[in-house]
Chain A
């Protein structure tokens, strides 16, 4: 089975790097970017199975990033990360084609479970 290609998009560099490391630790092929722009640029040149995108980002926010990614990579799954009390944004994301959203703070198990279910993988521990 090929390794699942995950792109983590968040403006919080420390969070991105640790999530990438932990996903890699769990066998995913994870890469991180720090903005919506970077994410779109990277997606244009590189294939990803799924993107985990923080909604709250400067310049291009998570929803807009989702929208643009879906334009260039309609098949790519997207999971959004929203803050507590901002479920409305998550719902908006669903309408734009996101697979689901997670409410921050999230732990790694929640992210991997959601990635797996998005890609139709029963279990991957």
Chain B
């Protein structure tokens, strides 16, 4: 294995996470960490947020239920009260009529004056009575007192007459009479012991019912009214029209008790309490706009939602921060571990290469020493031998042997030096000599390919304290790359100069094709290579790692079509070990 290739096989992960983020393999790694982060965020969010949301929802509905109960109670109570008052109004007047029909004889009731007297009594005692009439079993109005000309009218064919004949009592819907006043009728049938039956029929002022009962305690935003089973208004309504108008509301199904329902009218949410009036064809409806209830509820809801929102935001922020932090730490640890593994691998490889090199060098040294000593012996002999024809030639050949042995000796020294590289050895290094040594390895290839390698080291360049072997490796890698990059006949310049900050720059410039911007960003990344099959993507990564270890920096500048420059910056004074 050529040493240049050997160097490219080594491993040492530079500490440059930024580049890692963008790498091919590191993309997959990045994805793994993103997935881990996503997973932990989702898991922690579920664990933290689900109970919070459930609790808030339970709270929300309990509050809503409690507040709804609070809201429903007043309207239920008011509707019930009004219902009772209305039922009482109607029942009282029905009882009064019952009392009259039972307390008087047919003859008395037939008497117009007596009937007028009774109507007056009823008006005085109860109020609301408008007229009073007696109707016999055949439907003839026998007598009548009141404002309408109804005397002698026959009701036999009317529905109410049949109903009262069957049930004994009848309460009518509201209607407008001749005078345009809304009123309703209560009729009661009475049967005497002798099988005679007759009906007492009274008209009542429905407006009184509205005025004295329904509209009491009514707020401006509320409404209360009566409708019949067909939805025709029996009393006026604030919002739904006049008496005998048909309301737009759907009539709810019959229920024996007071009910409350919510409904929306336009944009308004309303509460509707309703109750069917027993003994009359009326349905009492009360509506309120539950403003205060809504306000309370909205305020509570707002608080709840704010609480939820704020908690969720805080929890998510903590979770996301925690996940980023945690995954970041894991990632750092992974990177450290990977770096360490690479370094160990690198160290091991270097150590085994070192052992092989040392073994080879030792084995070669002994026979070389024998060759050297033998040649030396020939020289010794020549010095004490008289001149003979081939003496000059032999001296020349012996000299050539000694020179070659010296060359081999230098090579084995270098190999052994390479082996020793593993031990950190800080010594004063003349960079120019070091580059010379490096080029002695690579000069042949450059020569074959007609590549001109020139160097220009500023005379004031100081000797630096560093590790010779490691630096050799660095420049071996960079110059190898440069040689691989340039075409046959290309140029490589190596310059050394002192920086204003006192450190030393070694610039290796080639006139190769240059490196694209994307590749440039990833060039020091482990496993990143543009050499497809024969590149391991480790050479520059190792180089980066070594330069960092030596307390230096490495940068690369490149322009497509013009070439690439690697700039290695090194401290002059001994670096802190392990830094």
- CB B385 to nearest CB in A, in angstroms, measures 12
Asked if B199 is at the interface of the complex by the 8 Å CB criterion, the answer is no
Per a CB cutoff under 8 Å, which of A19, A21, A22, A105 touches B409?
A105
If A22-B377, A22-B380 touch, does A107 touch B361 (CB 8 Å cutoff)? no
Residue ID in chain B nearest A105 by CB atoms: B369
Asked if B283 is at the interface of the complex by the 8 Å CB criterion, the answer is no
- C-alpha spacing A83/B369, complex, angstroms: 11
B contact residues around A19 at 8 Å (CB): 373
Per a CB cutoff under 8 Å, which of A56, A84, A85, A107 touches B376?
A107
- C-alpha spacing A14/B420, complex, angstroms: 29
Asked if A108 is at the interface of the complex by the 8 Å CB criterion, the answer is yes
B contact residues around A106 at 8 Å (CB): 369
- CB B394 to nearest CB in A, in angstroms, measures 17
The count of A-to-B residue pairs whose CB atoms sit within 8 angstroms is 54
Q: Evaluate contact between B373 and A56: CB separation under 8 angstroms.
A: no
Q: Mark A53-93, 1 if CB is under 8 A from B, else 0.
A: 00010000000000000000000000000011100000000
Per a CB cutoff under 8 Å, which of A18, A26, A83, A84 touches B373?
A18
Per a CB cutoff under 8 Å, which of B368, B374, B380, B419 touches A105?
B368
A contact residues around B372 at 8 Å (CB): 105, 107
* Contact count band on A: 10 to 19
B contact residues around A26 at 8 Å (CB): 380
Q: Evaluate contact between A84 and B377: CB separation under 8 angstroms.
A: no
Q: Mark B384-396, 1 if CB is under 8 A from A, else 0.
A: 0000000000000
A contact residues around B365 at 8 Å (CB): 83-84, 104-105
Per a CB cutoff under 8 Å, which of A15, A84, A107 touches B413?
A84
Q: Evaluate contact between A25 and B380: CB separation under 8 angstroms.
A: yes
A contact residues around B409 at 8 Å (CB): 105
- C-alpha spacing A104/B372, complex, angstroms: 11
* Contact count band on B: 20 to 34
Residue of A14, A21, A85 with highest tally of chain B CB at under 10 A: A85
- CB A106 to nearest CB in B, in angstroms, measures 7
Q: Which A residues, 91 to 124, have Cβ-Cβ distances below 8 Å to chain B?
A: 104-108
B contact residues around A38 at 8 Å (CB): none
- C-alpha spacing A25/B385, complex, angstroms: 13
Residue ID in chain B nearest A81 by CB atoms: B369
If A25-B380, A84-B361 touch, does A108 touch B373 (CB 8 Å cutoff)? yes
A contact residues around B169 at 8 Å (CB): none
Q: Evaluate contact between A85 and B377: CB separation under 8 angstroms.
A: no
- C-alpha spacing A104/B358, complex, angstroms: 13
Residue ID in chain A nearest B368 by CB atoms: A105
Asked if A47 is at the interface of the complex by the 8 Å CB criterion, the answer is no
- CB A47 to nearest CB in B, in angstroms, measures 26
- CB A125 to nearest CB in B, in angstroms, measures 12
If A84-B412, A85-B419 touch, does A25 touch B370 (CB 8 Å cutoff)? no
Additional A-B contacts beyond A14-B374, A107-B372 (19; CB < 8 A) = A12-B366, A12-B369, A15-B370, A18-B373, A18-B376, A21-B377, A22-B377, A22-B380, A25-B380, A83-B358, A84-B412, A85-B358, A85-B420, A104-B366, A104-B369, A105-B365, A106-B369, A107-B376, A108-B373
Instruction: List chain A positions with a Cβ less than 8 A from chain B.
Output: 12, 14-15, 18-19, 21-22, 25-26, 56, 83-85, 104-108
